[in-house]
Chains A and B, each alone.
Chain A
C-alpha cells in the first residue's frame, strides 16, 4: 500500500514533467521569431534564414523538433544560446551559462531555507501552543502584514535601513563567483533576509493553522485530560498529525525560492537563475528560456514530490496497513 502510494506519486510527477515540457515547447514556439532569425539578426536574408533553419533542423515538423529537443535534454545537452554568437558563428553552450547562475540560486535558496524553515516552524508552533495570547496575536498580525507587503517593498525598505542609513551591508549583492567567507556572507545577507521574511510568513501561518486544526480533535482533549504538558501535546500529539499541509507549504516556498525571486535578484543585482531567464526572454533567447523553464518546473515537481512523500510517511495507516 505504501509502495503503491509512492509509485503512484512518482508516476504522477513524471507525467506532469512531460506535460510541462510540451507546454514549454509550445509556449516558446508561439513567441515571434525563431532561433535562426534571432541568430542572424539584421543580417538575415530569406536564403540565409532557410539555410540556417535547415542546419538547425527548424524546418522539421513541430512534433519532431519537440522529440529532438527532449532527447537532447535527457542526454544533458541543453543546447546553444544565442549569446556571444556573431554572424554565422555558434553561441555559448547553455549549460555553461546556467551552471554558475544555478550555483548562486542554490546558495541563496539554501541560506533562506536554513533560516526560514526552523524559524517559522518554531514561531508557528509557539503561536498555536499559545493560541489567543498576546504572543499569538502579535505573530499572527505581523505575519499577516508581511504576507500582504510586496517583496520589492520589503527589499527596498531593508536596503534603505540597513545599507543606506546604517551602512552595515552593501546595497547590492553582486557576486562574481570568486567570493568566499565573509565577502560571500555579506553579499548574500540582504537578499537572504528579504526572502526569509517573505517565505517565513506563509510557513508560520500555515503551521499555526494546521496545528490549531488538529488541536480541536478529541485525542488532544484526551491528552489534556491525561495531564500532559502543553509543549508535549503540541509537539508529540498535534504536530505529527499536521505534517501534511506544513511540508507542502514549505515545499512550495522552496520552489518559489528557486524560480520566483526575480524581483529580489533584480533589486540586489544578484546573478541568479530567475534573472537569467527574464533576460533570456527579453533577448528572445529561446533555447535558454526553455532550459530555465524546465529547471524551474523540475524543481517544483521534485519538491512537491518530497512533500507528498513526507506526508505519506507520516501517516501510519499507509505505513502499516491492517
Chain B
C-alpha cells in the first residue's frame, strides 16, 4: 500500500533566492502512513513549519516551492490548480495553528467557523455540520457542547479555544492533520487536557497527523515516529523509542540534553545563604494591586492580594504560576508601572513611591524590566548601539568613546560580538534579540532585574543558553533577579527562592529546594505533576493523579472568600476551604504554605 503522504526531494526557497543562498527546505523526503502520527521536531528556523505546510500545498508569503513533489494518496499537491488546492485544504488536509486565539476570527461565532469548511466544500448541510461539531466538542471534553457554537472566541478560555480548533480541523473528517505547535502557548496544566483531547480524538478519527513542535516531551506523548529537522534537512528519523533512547545524530542528543529535567525532590541544595541578616535588595509587603475596572460588586478587580516577597542581594526569586495569576502584575507594581492599591515596595530598605513618575532617577535605575517579547520591546527603527546607548546617556550621561566602550562591554556581557552594535533588531535571531533586551536592562547597572517570561518565546536550546547567561550575569554583577515564568523547570534551574502564585495570592514560598520537595501545597503539586517528561507513559500516569483530575477544566477564580484554589483542589474541605481564608503554616524559617490542611497532613501527603 502506498503511503498517505509522500514528500520527495522537496526544496523550498525564499522568493528572489539570491539573498538567501541556503534553501529553507533542502531536498527533504519523508512518508506518512494512514493513521500515523509523525512529529517534526527542530528549533525555530529549522523549516519544520514550512515542511508541514507543504502538505497543504501552501508556502508562507516570501517562500516558494522550488523543486520536488508532495503527494497525498498519489495526487501531486504542488502541481494542483488553485481550485484543486482549495478543495484539498480543509477537506482532505486540515491545519491547526499554534495560537488558537489568533487563528479564530474574533468577529465570527465559533460554530460558524468550525462548520464553515465542511459546509462550503459541500460535505454536509449546515444542520448536519452543527451536529457533527457538537459531537466533536463532546469528544474533546468541552463544556456545554450543544450551545458552545453560539459563542464568540473571546468568550471561551485559551485551552478550550485550542481544542475548538481541533474540532474545526476535524469537522470535515480529513485524512491528514497538520498541527503546528498546538500546545506551546498553553500553561502546563492546560497543556495536559489539550494533549489528552488531541491524542484521543486523533485515534478515534483515525486521521494521520504531522505534529510540529520543539518540545520533545510533548512528542513523546503523542507521536509514533519522529523526524528531527535542522537547517532544512532531516537529520534523523525513527520511532519515538529509537530517537529518545538511542539517538544517533549529535543534534538530536543536543535537543534531548536541552530538555530541562523535571524538578524533582532530589534537587541538590543551591548555594548556601549568607545574606539572611543583610538588608534585602527588594522587599514587598502587604501588596494589593489591581486594575481600574469595577466589578459587579462595585469593588476594583484585585489581581494581587496581600503579597509579601523578599529578594536577597544577588539572589533569584522565582515567581511561578499559570497565566492570569498576577505574575506580570507583580513585576509591573515593583517597577512602578502600575501603582499598588496597598502595601509597600522597599528597595534596599528604602520605601519607594508607588508610581514610576514620583520615583527618583536613581531608584528607576536600580530596578530594570526585561520584557517577554524582545520583538516588541526593541524599537525596530533603532540600531543596537542606539538601544543600548539611551540608558547610558539617561542614567550616566555617557557619550562619545566612553559610551561606545560601555556598549562593547555590554555586548560582551551578553556574549555577542561588538559588530552587533551596528545592527537593527530585525537582523537578529530570537535568542540574540533577547540578549540585546537583557543588555539594555543591564546598561542601567541595576540592583534588581525583573525578568518577565524571558525565555517563554524561545525554543529549548536557546532558552537553556539564556538561563546559563543569566546565571553568569548574576555571579559577575551581583544583580538580583525576580524571575517570572509559567515554566517550572526553568524556574527550578535558576531560582534560589520560589514564590508560587495562584489567583493573585502566594500559596507557597521558600527556598527552591524546599518548595520543589514535599510537603507541597496542593497547587504546587499539580504544577510539578503537569511538567511533561521524556517518557511516553507520562501523560497517562499524570492523568491518573487526583491532582490533575480535580483541576481539569476548572477555571481560575479570583475570590474574596476562602481559598482561591478551592474548586480545583483534590483535598479541599467543603465548608471550610470555600468559606474561610486559609492559614499560613511556617514549616521552616522563611518557608510557608498557605492551606487549611494541617502541617502534619501536608508533611505526610495523605489527607483524611
Query: A residues touching B (Cβ–Cβ < 8 Å)?
Result: 217-219, 221-229, 232, 236-237, 240-241, 314-317, 320, 322
* B336 contacts partner chain A, Cβ-Cβ < 8 Å: no
Given A219-B102, A225-B56, A225-B95, the answer on whether A236 and B108 have CB atoms closer than 8 Å is: yes
What's the minimum C-beta distance from A281 to chain B, rounded to whole angstroms?
A: 46
Interface centre among A217, A218, A227 (most CB of B within 10 A): A227
User: Of residues 117 to 171 in B, which have CB atoms within 8 Å of A's CB atoms?
Assistant: 117, 120-121, 151-152, 154-155, 168
Contact indicator B86/A219 (Cβ below 8 Å): no
User: Of residues 76 to 103 in B, which have CB atoms within 8 Å of A's CB atoms?
Assistant: 85-91, 94-95, 97, 99, 102-103
Contact indicator B89/A225 (Cβ below 8 Å): yes
Given A217-B102, A218-B102, A240-B107, the answer on whether A225 and B90 have CB atoms closer than 8 Å is: yes
Contact indicator A232/B120 (Cβ below 8 Å): yes
Question: In the complex, what residues of B have CB within 8 A of residue A223's CB?
Answer: 105
Question: In the complex, what residues of A have CB within 8 A of residue B103's CB?
Answer: 218-219, 221-222
23 pairs, A vs B, C-beta closer than 8 Å: A218-B99, A219-B103, A221-B97, A224-B58, A225-B53, A225-B56, A226-B94, A226-B95, A226-B116, A227-B85, A227-B86, A227-B88, A227-B89, A228-B90, A228-B117, A232-B120, A237-B105, A240-B108, A315-B107, A316-B154, A317-B152, A317-B154, A322-B155
Question: In the complex, what residues of A have CB within 8 A of residue B151's CB?
Answer: 320
Interface centre among A226, A232, A240, A317 (most CB of B within 10 A): A226
Interface residues on B, range: 20 to 34
CA of A316 to CA of B120, assembled, Å: 24
* B106 contacts partner chain A, Cβ-Cβ < 8 Å: yes
Question: In the complex, what residues of A have CB within 8 A of residue B152's CB?
Answer: 316-317, 320
* B104 contacts partner chain A, Cβ-Cβ < 8 Å: yes
What's the minimum C-beta distance from A319 to chain B, rounded to whole angstroms?
A: 8
CA of A213 to CA of B154, assembled, Å: 21
Question: In the complex, what residues of A have CB within 8 A of residue B94's CB?
Answer: 225-226
Contact of B106 among A222, A236, A317 (CB under 8 A): A317
Question: In the complex, what residues of A have CB within 8 A of residue B88's CB?
Answer: 227
CA of A236 to CA of B107, assembled, Å: 9
Q: Which residue of B lies closest to A219 (CB)?
A: B105
Question: In the complex, what residues of A have CB within 8 A of residue B95's CB?
Answer: 222, 225-226
Question: In the complex, what residues of B have CB within 8 A of residue A225's CB?
Answer: 53, 56, 58, 89-90, 94-95
Contact indicator B91/A227 (Cβ below 8 Å): yes
Q: Which residue of A lies closest to B169 (CB)?
A: A226
Contact indicator A228/B102 (Cβ below 8 Å): no
Interface centre among A217, A219, A229 (most CB of B within 10 A): A219
Question: In the complex, what residues of A have CB within 8 A of residue B104's CB?
Answer: 219, 222
Question: In the complex, what residues of A have CB within 8 A of residue B116's CB?
Answer: 226, 228
Contact indicator A226/B97 (Cβ below 8 Å): no
What's the minimum C-beta distance from A159 to chain B, rounded to whole angstroms?
A: 45
What's the minimum C-beta distance from B171 to chain A, rounded to whole angstroms?
A: 10
What's the minimum C-beta distance from A288 to chain B, rounded to whole angstroms?
A: 46
CA of A289 to CA of B95, assembled, Å: 63
Which 7 pairs between the two chains have the least Cβ-Cβ distance? A227-B89, A226-B90, A227-B90, A218-B102, A240-B107, A225-B95, A222-B103
Contact of B117 among A217, A219, A227, A240 (CB under 8 A): A227
What's the minimum C-beta distance from B109 to chain A, rounded to whole angstroms?
A: 8
Interface centre among B104, B105, B154 (most CB of A within 10 A): B105
What's the minimum C-beta distance from B555 to chain A, rounded to whole angstroms?
A: 11
CA of A223 to CA of B106, assembled, Å: 13
Contact indicator A322/B154 (Cβ below 8 Å): yes
Q: Which residue of A lies closest to B152 (CB)?
A: A316
CA of A226 to CA of B96, assembled, Å: 10
What's the minimum C-beta distance from B96 to chain A, rounded to whole angstroms?
A: 9
Contact indicator A320/B155 (Cβ below 8 Å): yes
CA of A185 to CA of B53, assembled, Å: 57
